[in-house]
A = this chain, B = another copy of it.
């Protein structure tokens, strides 16, 4: 099951030609979800040849422009492109009002339905239940209401050991074995045991998106042990005071959260435009949490259940 995140934008609010405003694409099997949608996101999708028609839902963390000003343009283009399937839209209170007003003045009749689900930005709640994963909000400590998102894969079933499965075992028995039920014969004797015929279920994977936020340990219980954490790192350590004043974090703070939450890997982004290069962000983060990575735009990261080396974070293709 493919489960990846592709970085479309890793810059912050001040515009720059080096980096674009926040946006990420989550791919789960053949379905795509967008997290945040800064200005120009639809052009990033074109650039990376990602077909927006496969988009099932969009998650908006908060209503600062660098996280959603590209949404109205993307929705308009989906409509112009002939989309008819429903689109899920998760975001803070006010988002639907803004979109409705813009569609009203452009006199655009939408050919598809936007199913708007307001986010709870004050406590972590189940926001969306997919057949393969759940999405929960992560309340963040920012200047305006803001919630990150936790994608938590559902528990997998145990795997059958192919070599041991013969044709005489009824199909129903196989289903029971995968569900951790031993099979007994009519006399009550163990006929097929879960331990003999199956392997443990692969561990489930999870991804947490935390942007924008001050350093705040209250998110740790929510994101504990996630496979991959994206945490904003707008500033570096020497501007820690400024980071706090502006409700942002430093690379060191992002790494400290990753360490304390015992996550598998850390991705950092949302870099201030004052930094032309980002190597020093990585050094600062890795000094606290070695398995840290830069959210390079255009890069796709595999979300892996087990912490791995840098190489294996990158997709096979």
Contacts and interface: CB of A to CB of B under 8 A. Distances in A.
Interface of A: 13-17, 39-40, 42-43, 46-47, 63-65, 69-70, 72-73, 76-77, 80-81, 92, 94-95, 97-98, 101-102, 104-107, 143-144
A32 to B, nearest CB: 17
B47 A17 contact: yes
Contacts of A70: 39
B101 A97 contact: yes
Contact of A105 (B40, B72, B94): B94
9 closest Cβ pairs, A-B complex: A94-B105, A63-B105, A39-B73, A65-B76, A69-B73, A40-B40, A107-B144, A15-B42, A63-B106
A271 B92 CA distance: 36
Nearest to A45: B15
Contacts of A73: 15, 39, 65, 69
A97 B42 CA distance: 25
A16 B64 contact: no
B77 A14 contact: yes
Contact of A15 (B43, B102, B144): B43
B43 A144 contact: no
Interface core residue of A39, A63, A107 (most chain B CB under 10 Å): A39
Contacts of A65: 72-73, 76, 102, 106
A86 to B, nearest CB: 21
9 contacts: A15-B43, A15-B73, A17-B43, A39-B39, A39-B69, A40-B40, A69-B76, A98-B102, A106-B144
Contact of A46 (B15, B43, B98, B101): B15
Nearest to A65: B76
A46 B144 contact: no
A106 to B, nearest CB: 5
A272 to B, nearest CB: 11
A95 B102 CA distance: 9
Given A14-B80, A39-B40, A94-B101, 9 more contacts: A17-B43, A39-B39, A40-B40, A40-B43, A63-B105, A63-B106, A65-B73, A69-B72, A101-B101
Contacts of A107: 143-144
A109 to B, nearest CB: 11
A98 B42 CA distance: 21
A247 to B, nearest CB: 11
A1 to B, nearest CB: 31
B105 A98 contact: yes
A98 B102 CA distance: 7
Nearest to A94: B105
A316 to B, nearest CB: 27
Nearest to A95: B105
Contacts of A102: 63, 65, 98
A110 to B, nearest CB: 13
Contacts of A47: 17
Contacts of A76: 13, 65, 69
